[in-house]
Amino acid sequence: MQILFTATPPADVRLHARIVNQGAQLTGLDQALVEGAAAARFAGRTGQVFEGFASVGGTLRRIAIAGAGEASSAERKLELERAGAALTAKYLVSGESAMVLDLSGAGLSADDAAAVLLGLRLRAWRHDAYRTRLAADKRPSLATVHVIGEPDGTEAAWARELALAKGVEFTRKLVTEPANIIYPASFVAACEEAFAGTGVEITVLGEAEMTALGMGALVGVGQGSECESKLLAIRWNGGAAGEKPTVFVGKGVTFDTGGISLKPPPGMEDMKWDMGGAGAVAGAMLALAGRKAKANVIGVMGLVENMPDGKAQRPGDIVTTMSGQTVEVLNTDAEGRLVLCDALHWVQEQYDAARIVDLATLTGAMIISLGNEYGGMFANDDALAGQLSAAGLASGDKLWRMPLGPNYDKLIDSPVADIKNVGPREAGSITAAQFLQRFIKPGTPWAHLDIAGMVWASKPGHSWDKGATGYGVRLLDQFVRDVVEG
C-alpha cells in the first residue's frame, strides 16, 4: 500500500475516511450520515467503523468513520494504529483502489498520525503469490491512501514508521514462504537482496567453517538435510564508535520435521514457520537499517533444516558444542536449543556484546502456558527484563516473564554428558531456557524470548491477517529506540 501526502485530495477518489475519538461529536458531515452513525450505535470505540454515502458537491462519496477510542487512553498509539488497521480491513478488497484519509479534527500529534498510517499499512499485507484462482472480489484493490489534514511533522514521523513496516513485512514474507522456497541458503540470499545498499555488514558461515569452529550442536541438527546449514550475521553500525553492540540471535529452523524423533503428520506443514525467531531478527535489522538507527546492533541467525534421512543424528547421540560442553541428544525434535547454543557462544566469542536477546519458536509448552497472547521471557538480568517488558507493552508485542532457577537446571543434567537436550515433561519451556543459559558467560545480560505462540495466527488480528504476524520486529525496534538510542 502506497501512502501519499497531499494538500488537495484527488477529485476521482470516491472513498473518504476520517478518524474520530470516542464520544466526540461528528462535525462537517451530512446530517444523514450523523443520524445514521447514531442509529448504528457508532461511538468511536477503538476499531469501530461506520460507513455511509453522501453527495458532496454533486458527486457521490463513500464516507467512512473509524473510531480511535478515548483520547486519554494509556494505549493511545496502539488504539490509533487499530483505527487505521480497521479501515484497511474493511476496504482492502472493497473494489475501491484509493482512499482519502482526513487526519484533521482528532487532535493528533505527528507520532499519533504516523501510528494510524502504520496500522493502515500493516493490515494491508497479504501473500497471494501462489493463489492463481483467487476470485476477483477477494483480491486486494485498495492500493493508495491520500493523506490530508495531517499535523506538522507527520511525513518525517511516517518515514520512520515506514521503515518499521517494511521490516515487519519482510519478516512476514520469510515466515510465510514454504520450505521449498525458504531454506538456509535462500534465507541468506533473501537477506542479501533486501539489505543491498543499506550499509550493513553481512557475514555468512557455511558448514565447513562452522565445523572447523567446533559447532557440533548446530551442524548436527542439519546433517540429515540436503540443504547446507548457515550462520548469518548482519551488523548495523549506527551508534557511537567503540560502543558495545546489542546482539539479537534468532532460531532459524526453516523446516522442522522433528528429525528421527518425527513429529505426527497433522500440523507438520506449520513447521515452515519454525524459523520465526530468525525471521524476526532479520526484519528488525532491516527496520533499524532503514530508519538509520543511532545504535550499534548485530543480528545473528542460525539457519538449518531438520530432516530424518540416513545421515540424521539419532536419539542418544552425543555432540560437542563450540563451548566445549557436551550434549546428549535425547530427542531430535528439541533441535532449536542445539542451534541456538552454538550461535550464542559464537556471538560471545566474536563480539563484546552489551546485551544479548535471543528469539525462538522453541517449545510447544510455551503455547500451553501463555496461548497466543504473550511471548515468554526468561532473563538473567532484571533491568533487561524490565526494558523488554516495557518495549513489549509499547509496541504491542507483549511479553510475560517466566522463572529460571537452580532446581530447574538440575532437570537437564545428563548421566553420560554435560547436558541432555530435554528434561521431563513438566516445565518444558523453563528447562529449554535453562539449557541456553548454560552457554551464557557470567556477567553478560541475556534474555531468551520463546515466541512459539506468537509468530503465526489462525485468525486475523488488529494489524495482521491470518498467517504470519511479524511478531518480534516491533518489540526489538522499540527496545532499541527506548534503551539503546535513548
Q: What is the pLDDT of residue 214?
A: 98
For residue 55, the one-letter residue type is S
244 included as an active-site residue:
no
The model's confidence at residue 56, banded by pLDDT at 50, 70 and 90, is confident
Q: Write the CB contacts of 148 (distance below 8 Å, at least 6 apart in sequence).
A: 5, 6, 7, 8, 9, 100, 101, 102, 103, 104
pTM of the entire structure? 0.97
AA identity, residue 46: T
- pLDDT 10s digits, 410-452: 999 999 999 999 999 999 999 999 999 999 999 999 999 999 9
Q: What sign results for the dihedral spanned by CA atoms 165, 166, 171, 177?
A: positive
Exactly one of 263, 294, 401, 438 is catalytic; name it.
263
Say how far apart CA 176 and CA 126 lie, in whole Å: 10
**Three-class SS of residue 398?**
coil
Q: Residues 162-484: name the CATH superfamily.
A: Zn peptidases (3.40.630.10)
CA 94 from centroid of its chain's CA atoms: 28
Q: At what angle do helices 110-123 and 154-176 cross, to 10 degrees?
A: 30
Q: Domain residues of the chain, as ranges?
A: 2-152, 162-484
- The CATH number corresponding to 2-152 among 3.40.50.850, 3.40.50.1000, 3.40.220.10, 1.20.990.10 equals 3.40.220.10
Out of 337, 398, 474, 481, the active site residue is 337
Using one digit for the tens of pLDDT, what is the confidence trace for 195-248?
999 999 999 999 999 999 999 999 999 999 999 999 999 999 999 999 999 999
Q: Contact 264/340 with Cβ under 8 angstroms?
A: no
**Order of strands across the sheet that contains 419-420:** 317-320, 326-329, 419-420
Identify whether 61 is a catalytic site residue: no
Query: Do 257 and 236 touch, CB atoms closer than 8 A?
Result: no
Is the pLDDT at 58 greater than 90? The verdict is no
CA dihedral defined by 20, 24, 27, 31, rounded to 10 degrees? 100
Three-state secondary-structure class, residue 123: helix
The grid cell for 289 is 537499517
pLDDT band of 267, cuts 50, 70, 90? very high
214 close to 321: Cβ distance less than 8 angstroms: yes
Give the pLDDT confidence of 90-144 residue by residue, as tens digits.
999 999 999 999 999 889 999 999 999 999 999 999 999 999 999 999 999 999 9
pLDDT of residue 55: 87
Q: Where are the beta strands (DSSP E) in 266-407?
A: 296-306, 317-320, 326-329, 355-360, 375-379, 399-401
- 208 burial via Cβ count (<10 Å: 0-12, 13-18, 19+): exposed
Q: How far is CA 23 from CA 20, 136, 173, in A?
A: 8, 38, 39
Q: Which three cell numbers stand for residue 69?
A: 477510542
Q: Give dist(CA 481, CA 486) in Å, integer.
A: 6
CA nearest 272: which of 245, 306, 247, 300? 306
Do 2-152 and 162-484 agree at the fold level?
Answer: no
For residue range 334-388, list pLDDT tens digits in order.
999 999 999 999 999 999 999 999 999 999 999 999 999 999 999 999 999 999 9
User: How far from 242 is each of 131, 236, 238, CA to CA, in Å?
Assistant: 49, 13, 11
